[in-house]
Amino acid sequence: MNILEELRSRFREPLSQWVDDPEPYLAMVRRAQDVRFGDVQANFAMPLAKRVGQNARELATEIVASLDVSDLCEEPEVAGPGFINLRLRTDWLEQATASLVTDERLGHVAVSTARNYVVDYSAPNVAKPMHVGHLRSTVIGDSLCRLLRFQGHRVIGDNHIGDWGTQFGMLIFGYKHFLDAEAFRREPVQELARLYRLVHQLSSYHDARRELPAQQEQLAQLRKQIEAAEKASDVEPKQRSRTLKKLRKSLEEVAERCRQLEAACAAVESSPELKSLADAYPDIAEQARAETAKLHAGDEENRRLWELFLPSCLDALQRIYDRLGISFDLTLGESFYQPMLEEVVEELQGKGIATESEGAVCVFVEGNEAPLIIRKTDGAFTYATTDLATIKYRREKLKAESILYVVDARQSEHFRLVFEVARRWGFGNIDFRHVRFGTVLGRDGKPFKTRSGDTVGLESLLDEAVARARAIVDENDDAKPDGPELDEATRTAVAEVVGIGGIKYADLKHNRESDYVFDWDKMLAKNGDSATYIQYAYARICGIFRKGGVDREQLRREGGTIRIERPVERALVVQLLQFPEAIDAAAVECRPNFLAQYLFATANRFTAFYDECQILPEQDADRRRGWLLLCDLTARALKLGLELLGISVCERM
């Protein structure tokens, strides 16, 4: 049972005596932050009183009088200006916990109406560096699929890979001009990555060379303006400092841009080899674009190269997914939708939704200056056209009712427009959601980059996580009072689980919308908000059962009473009973961090309980049995919860 939802629903009737729509007030029934105020607190009396013109405390008292929660709670208490405090009854807690012992879902009840979800996640751009942003999408998206499926929905996880973009023109150009055939034969993906980087570097070099003079000019102008402003004597001091502040800010921005451009130039000019290539191909960017255009127009040679490149690029991605233990139900890349794009544009034009404007086909969306372009002046279709075709396919072929896009927050505008156009087009019955996320930052506060900045870099990042985890596993095992327990193979396996789990958890524990700093030490901290800590709590419980020679299956079968005698027991029980709430909150809001938080708190409650209760030596057989049942429930909650985040556990660590 989702206790919070249950208690909310008990307020619905009493509240509807006062307002037509009680829902916003029901949302103010929450878990209490402090046990002194009970387990659940209703804070709606104050705003409601204001609205209906009554005294809040009296209103709260009246509502409580018609509230029926006696089966779950002690007598409700009205506190302060009108808070309603609810405290779960001990006997109810004991009986509810006992009923979890044989419940595989740990009290969670599946939804009564299952929906068809398509979750669009991971979606790296093939042949282009897969960066940590795609790792974020992959990890969050995977967890959302697991959560929604656990809730009872039908979920299709779809990896909408970018396998048709402009990067292929760059690759094709690189392949035709700079190929190291021997390297390509040996390590195709690495050679393709090299070609991509080379073409990218040369074309950015020319761009930078072109842009630099104007930026330098602007820099000089700003310096002059600042000098003038500093000297100006006829300006009011406040006004002057405002002006100066603005100018200096612009100066800083332009200076930064100049530094970037100069660095891009220096990188090429400092290498005679690169410089001569740059000189030999001054219009490399246009030529690469032309190769893309040829590919899209069906040019045979370019199509052949695309088909040659794709499999090894996909293999490289697959290695990452295997390592992460992540799989998709579908991998329909952008190329899959190409045959449908023409029709999308025709339909939208036919319905008068899209119109021609300066040679391009556009949809104008109110409140938005720039239109959504679905066909460019040169005839090329866009990222947006593909997304619209994808929506139609997902609705008509996959029967999607909800589509979640787990994509970087920087694409918010794109999705806002695409959803709006899709609604006008007739897909208003789909519940669209951009599940946006922030940037992963390095210690310096700038976007985090792996050393080589590509898929290979991402793989070495995972390697590093596992290597660091291995050091922790070794240290921990070596320090065990009765000597090390793990053999070499086990240590290797544990390090993989800890390392990969650490990376995933670090991502999932943050509010996805905020940026976060990538920090190895926090990620693998044995004592702290990390997967490692939760995994160790799990292994510790397994150790108790091993040491006590307890058969968990049998323990569950035989059952027993769980008595609540101490605050640490009550706290753990109340925590365990919140499992369904954590799942539902994480799934409904698409925020796996709610579940991560829950698991961390559960591990903490368990630690407090375990510190105080000597389980195996306990003489009172019933009490010992009750404690063992609590251990079993905790271990199951941790394991299942981590599994829904896509993180594994080990029985021994």
Q: Which residues bind ligand ARG (CB under 6 A)?
A: 120, 123, 125, 160, 162, 387, 390, 405, 407
What are the residues whose beta carbons fall under 8 Å from the beta carbon of 496, sequence distance 6 or more? Answer: 466, 469
- Least Å distance, CB 308 to ligand ARG, is 21
CB-nearer residue toward ligand ARG: 387 or 477:
387
DSSP E strand boundaries for 342-416: 355-357, 360-363, 372-375, 402-408
Query: Measured between alpha carbons, how far is 260 from 209 in angstroms, rounded to an integer?
Result: 11
The token pair that represents 552 in the structure block: 């968990």
CB-nearer residue toward ligand ARG: 123 or 599:
123
What are the residues whose beta carbons fall under 8 Å from the beta carbon of 3, sequence distance 6 or more? Answer: 40, 72, 88, 577, 578, 580, 581
Chain centroid to CA 27: 25
Q: In what order do the strands lie in the sheet with 29-31?
A: 29-31, 40-42, 83-86, 77-79
Collect contacts of 302-307 with beta carbons under 8 A, ≥24 apart: 302/168, 302/172, 305/171, 305/172, 305/175, 306/168, 306/172
- Least Å distance, CB 336 to ligand ARG, is 12
Chain centroid to CA 324: 15
Q: At what angle do helices 338-350 and 383-396 cross, to 10 degrees?
A: 90
Q: What are phi and psi of 266, to 5 degrees?
A: -60, -40
- Least Å distance, CB 120 to ligand ARG, is 5
- Least Å distance, CB 159 to ligand ARG, is 9
The C-alpha R_g of the chain, in whole angstroms, comes to 30
DSSP 457-505: HHHHHHHHHHHHHHHHHHHHHHT-TT-----HHHHHHHHHHHHHHHHHH
Chain centroid to CA 560: 40
CB-nearer residue toward ligand ARG: 336 or 600:
336
The token pair that represents 489 in the structure block: 């193979």
Instruction: Report, in this order, helix, strand and coil percent for the chain, each rounded to 5.
Output: 60, 10, 30
3-class SS string, 280-320: HCCCHHHHHHHHHHHHHCCCHHHHHHHHHHHHHHHHHHHHH
- Least Å distance, CB 156 to ligand ARG, is 13
- Least Å distance, CB 144 to ligand ARG, is 14
- Least Å distance, CB 32 to ligand ARG, is 40
- Least Å distance, CB 266 to ligand ARG, is 29
- Least Å distance, CB 427 to ligand ARG, is 14
Listed residue (635, 629, 569) closest to 90, CA to CA: 569
CB-nearer residue toward ligand ARG: 160 or 395:
160
CB-nearer residue toward ligand ARG: 84 or 407:
407
- Least Å distance, CB 25 to ligand ARG, is 37
CB-nearer residue toward ligand ARG: 67 or 363:
363
Q: What is Dmax (Cα atoms) for the chain?
A: 90
CB-nearer residue toward ligand ARG: 388 or 494:
388
The token pair that represents 300 in the structure block: 């045979």
| SS3 state at 241 | helix
CB-nearer residue toward ligand ARG: 306 or 405:
405
Angle of CA points 300, 302, 304, to nearest 5°: 70
The token pair that represents 296 in the structure block: 């899209």
CB-nearer residue toward ligand ARG: 146 or 160:
160
CB-nearer residue toward ligand ARG: 3 or 417:
417
CB-nearer residue toward ligand ARG: 39 or 334:
334
CB-nearer residue toward ligand ARG: 39 or 387:
387
- Least Å distance, CB 383 to ligand ARG, is 7
- Least Å distance, CB 214 to ligand ARG, is 29
